[in-house]
């Protein structure tokens, strides 16, 4: 029997689908929070409110003067911080942001559909399935990184998803994966019975949905917050939807308001985990979106394969293993399909070794360079 220690190390690494110590430094991350803000454009993320859309005709803005007072500032840096104070005050200072095209940093989707189910599947599976070409409620035939981790003893029962859009039980294939998914009109039943949870469930029952499929983001946030505090999952996936819903409705003022609100929700989640010993300085946060949108003055409302610009996205990463390099510039493009492997890599796992179609992790998020 060959007892070469290097060969033995390689065998063990392949068995447990974890990177070898020679390949990657030991991770401090023990938990990951992945948050997505549906359809929030990279233009707003990196430049703040687009002033040409703060207009009744082009942006459907009800009170132009009030929106300008709230979101317009003398410089790009001040304007984007006014819109997304946590992203720019914390993530950009302590972590990294990808997708600033004015700084030669491009982030994009790989799928050709440029809308939600294909985008979320790409994010969570790490590759494009051409058969996913609609938002229909069809169980995903592909295994997501969340399902793959959930099959490991150390993550079983420790992964949960909270989403505003009620298609996620199908995207995450809950019947097969057995992952806890709280979505759309579902009450929160897995975090105990407290006055806060009873009030939340009443609001979920009584609050009107957006259309037929989406609940208000505030309900999704508070369900995720209460569950995190009570059950302390190791991987938490949260998806907000209002930034997309209000863009489709042509209400740019409400897009801005929902973006700022989503940013505040992410801040509160981050402050909560930093207050808990199970998470403090042991948690990586990934924030991104499922697709881009078209350009102003009209196409900003829409996104699909025929809408120029809707392939471009953005990604923010913050955590104990991520060098604080801020707004990345002059780097090779990153893709949406890299998010799944990046999530796994933050925890010390090699997802592409188990799912060869998956793209590689965003290595810059951990090393600062390719």
Query: What's the confidence (pLDDT) of residue 6?
Result: 36
In tens, the pLDDT along 93-122 reads: 999 999 999 999 999 999 999 999 999 999
> Do the domain assignments include residue 276?
yes
Give tens-digit pLDDT for 276-291: 999 999 999 999 999 9
Report d(CA 60, CA 27) in Å as an integer.
Answer: 47
pLDDT at 11 over 70: no
Q: Is the pLDDT of residue 2 over 60?
A: no
Q: Is residue 21 part of a domain?
A: no
Pick the more confident residue, 9 or 178.
Answer: 178
- Position 40 in a domain: yes
In a domain, 203, yes or no: yes
Give which of 171, 191, 183 is closest to 215, Cα–Cα: 183
State yes or no: pLDDT of 20 exceeds 60. Answer: no
Token pair recorded at residue 238: 């949260």
- pLDDT reported for residue 235: 98
Residue 165 DSSP label: B
3-state secondary structure of 210: strand
Q: Is the pLDDT of residue 46 over 70?
A: yes
**Strand, helix or coil at 327?**
strand
| Residues 257-265, mean pLDDT to the nearest whole number | 98
Average pLDDT value for the chain: 93
Compute the distance between CA of residue 5 and CA of residue 9 in angstroms, rounded to an integer. 6
Residue with tokens 């989707």: 109
Please check the confidence at residue 4 and state whether its pLDDT lies above 50: no
Q: Is residue 247's pLDDT more than 50?
A: yes
pLDDT score, position 369 = 65
Mean local confidence (pLDDT), 142-151:
98
Domain of 47 in residue numbering reads as 28-367
CATH number of the domain bearing residue 223? 3.40.720.10
298 has a pLDDT exceeding 90? no
In angstroms, the CA 225 to CA 184 distance is 16
Q: Find residue 180's DSSP bridge partners.
A: 160
* pLDDT score at 76: 98
242 within a domain of the structure (yes/no)? yes
Percent with pLDDT over 70 in the chain? 92
Q: Does the residue 146 lie in any domain?
A: yes
Range scoring the smallest mean pLDDT among 5-19, 149-163, 189-203, 228-242: 5-19
CA angle 121, 126, 131 (to 5 degrees): 45
Query: Does the pLDDT at position 8 exceed 60?
Result: no
Taking the model in full, what pTM does it have?
A: 0.93
In this prediction, residue 13 has a pLDDT band, given cuts at 50, 70 and 90, of very low
Spell out the residues 6+ positions from residue 318 whose beta carbon is closer than 8 angstroms to its own.
Answer: 90, 91, 94, 95, 96, 270, 284, 285, 287
pLDDT for the residue numbered 24: 61
Residue at 293 is within a domain: yes
Helices (runs of H) and strands (runs of E) counted in the chain: 18, 10
Asked if the structure places residue 7 within a domain, the reply is: no
Mean pLDDT of 246-256: 97
As for how many domains the chain has, the answer is 1
- Token pair listed for 311: 């392939």
Characterize the bridge pairing of strands 283-288 and 235-240.
unpaired
User: Distances in Å between the alpha carbon of 291 and those of 4, 307, 318, 327, 337?
Assistant: 48, 11, 21, 20, 12
Average pLDDT over residues 328-338: 97
Can you name the residues that pair with 227 across neighbouring β-strands?
Answer: none
């Amino acid at each position: 029997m060959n007892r070469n220690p290097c060969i033995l190390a390689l065998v063990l690494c392949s068995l447990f689908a974890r990177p070898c110590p020679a390949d990657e430094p030991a991770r401090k991350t023990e938990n990951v929070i992945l948050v997505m803000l549906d359809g929030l454009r990279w233009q707003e993320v990196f430049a703040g409110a687009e002033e040409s859309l703060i207009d009744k005709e082009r942006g459907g803005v009800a009170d132009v003067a009030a929106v300008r007072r709230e979101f317009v500032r003398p410089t790009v840096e001040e304007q984007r911080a006014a819109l997304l104070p946590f992203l720019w005050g914390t993530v950009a200072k302590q972590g990294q942001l990808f997708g600033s095209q004015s700084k030669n940093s491009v982030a994009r989707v790989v799928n050709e559909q440029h809308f939600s189910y294909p985008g979320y599947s790409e994010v969570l599976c790490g590759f494009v399935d051409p058969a996913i070409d609609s938002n229909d409620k069809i169980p995903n035939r592909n295994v997501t990184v969340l399902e793959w981790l959930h099959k490991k003893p150390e993550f079983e029962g420790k992964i949960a998803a909270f989403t505003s859009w009620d298609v996620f039980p199908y995207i995450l294939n809950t019947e097969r994966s057995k992952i806890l998914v709280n979505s759309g009109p579902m009450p929160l039943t897995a975090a105990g019975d407290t006055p806060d949870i009873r009030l939340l469930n009443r609001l979920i029952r009584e609050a009107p949905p957006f259309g037929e499929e989406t609940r208000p983001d505030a309900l999704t946030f508070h369900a995720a917050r209460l569950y995190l505090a009570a059950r302390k999952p190791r991987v938490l996936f949260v998806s907000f939807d209002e930034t997309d819903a209000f863009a489709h409705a042509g209400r740019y003022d409400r897009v801005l308001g929902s973006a700022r609100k989503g940013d505040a929700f992410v801040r509160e989640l981050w402050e909560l985990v930093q207050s808990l010993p199970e998470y403090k300085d042991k948690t990586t946060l990934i924030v991104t979106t499922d697709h881009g949108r078209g350009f102003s003055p009209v196409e900003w409302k829409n996104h699909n394969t025929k809408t120029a610009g809707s392939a471009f996205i953005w990604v923010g990463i913050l955590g104990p293993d991520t060098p604080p390099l801020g707004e990345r510039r002059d780097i090779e493009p990153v893709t949406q399909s890299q998010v799944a492997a990046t999530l796994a890599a933050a925890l010390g796992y090699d997802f592409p070794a188990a799912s060869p179609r998956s793209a590689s992790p965003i290595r810059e998020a951990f090393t600062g360079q390719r």
